Amino acid sequence: MIALLIRDLQLAFRAGGGFGLGLAFFLIVTVMVPFAVGPDAAGLAVIAPGVLWLGALLACLLSLDRLLSLDWEDGSLDLLATAPLPLEGVLSIKALAHWLTTGLPLVLAAPVLGVLLHLPAAGYIWIMVSLLIGTPALSVIGTFGAALTVGLKRGGLLLSLLVMPLYVPTLIFGAEAARRGALGLAGETPLLMLAGITLGTIALLPFASAAVLRVNLR
């Protein structure tokens, strides 16, 4: 199990492994928002928490494509499925590796990008905490989506479509907490809800993912 985690991290850090790309995507999306909606600072400040959450969500989403498909294409997934590891465990580990290489860097980068969007000072801690609590759910839900689409060639866009609706509750509570925080209001309630979603998905979703993957492997 730990061998799998180590291998996945190793692969991510090797040339072409894609570590840092999610981060760069996050940066670019954030930079492009003012180009699209205009440079007015007050206007940007209002939408800043939402943009940061949406950017983080998209960055997660786009890296999902690599989560299982690479292993599927070169046949490793067939071999892992016949190895003495429970498939649920394999998928949980893969979600963890995905979070470590994608979600966690996003959390750390969010305040820097907050500066670009004129995020109000009160908002920094809230955006970080809400992302820290919320991104694990994004990875776990994403693993489910990846397992659903693993057999499809270049299923990236379809994967996005399937996963986005599942991301809605996480996005709503996360962005709400960050927005309230930025306005100086109390954001504890949405944050609690967010934590609930994260815990629930971590506990239950790997079973669904494994079931789906078994079907796809046949």
Q: Which of 1, 6, 24, 83 binds its own copies (CB under 8 A)?
A: 24
Residues 95-134 that bind its own copies (CB under 8 A): none
Q: Is 202 in the site for its own copies (CB under 8 A)?
A: no
CA-based nearest residue to 106, from 70, 82, 78, 142: 142
CA-based nearest residue to 48, from 173, 177, 182, 162: 182
Question: Rounded to the nearest whole angstrom, what is the least distance from the CB of residue 14 to its own copies in the complex?
Answer: 12
Whichever of 124 and 167 has its CB closer to its own copies, that residue is: 167
Q: Which stretch binds its own copies (CB under 8 A): 39-47, 81-89, 109-117, 198-206?
A: 39-47
Binding site for other proteins (CB under 8 A): 3-4, 7, 10-11, 14-17, 20-21, 24, 27-28, 31, 34-35, 38-41, 73-76, 78-85, 115-116, 118, 144, 148-149, 151-153, 155, 158, 161-162, 164-166, 168-169, 172-173, 176, 180, 189-190, 193, 197, 205, 208, 211-212, 215-218
**Which tokens hold the place of 217?**
């492997």
The conformational region for residue 15 under phi > 0 = left, psi -120 to 50 = alpha, else beta, is: beta
Question: Rounded to the nearest whole angstrom, what is the least distance from the CB of residue 111 to its own copies in the complex?
Answer: 18
Whichever of 21 and 81 has its CB closer to its own copies, that residue is: 21
Q: What's the angle, vertex CA 82, arms to CA 9 and CA 147, rounded to 5?
A: 60
Q: Is 45 in the site for its own copies (CB under 8 A)?
A: no
Cα 117 to Cα 92: distance, rounded to the nearest angstrom: 34
Whichever of 59 and 205 has its CB closer to its own copies, that residue is: 59
Residues that bind its own copies (CB under 8 A): 16, 18, 21-22, 24-25, 28-29, 32-33, 35-38, 43, 46-47, 49-51, 53-54, 57-58, 62-63, 65-66, 69-70, 73, 152-154, 156-158, 160-161, 164-165, 167-168, 171-172, 175, 179
